[in-house]
Amino acid sequence: MTKGYQYTTEQEAQTAQAACNAYYGIPVNDEDVTRNWVGYSFAELNTPTFWYIVYDSSLDVVLGAPTEFEVIQPDPNA
């Protein structure tokens, strides 16, 4: 199980990412190497598919309480 934040559209994941960036002031300037406070991923093997952000305690204040959900990973032996 994955603990985090689940989104039905990529736009929702981008909005959550932007909220974290705004809260933490990332990026500081256009030359800053760090572009995002948090990344998001696409659960392409799940049905239905979804986007998600993996939980970190720094996200509580911005995104609220996380949930647990399953992300199907590709078989590394396939």
Identify the residue with better confidence: 74 or 41: 41
Q: Is residue 17 pLDDT above 90, yes or no?
A: yes
Mean pLDDT over 44-62 rounds to 97
* Cut 0.95: pTM above it: no
Backbone angles phi, psi at 67, to 5 degrees: -120, 175
pLDDT band at 10 (very low <50, low <70, confident <90, very high): very high
Handedness of CA 27, 32, 36, 38 (dihedral sign): negative
Contact 61, 18 (CB under 8 A): no
Identify the residue with better confidence: 30 or 53: 53
Q: Is residue 44 pLDDT above 90, yes or no?
A: yes
Whole-angstrom distance, CA of residue 18 vs CA of residue 24: 10
3-class SS of residue 73 = coil
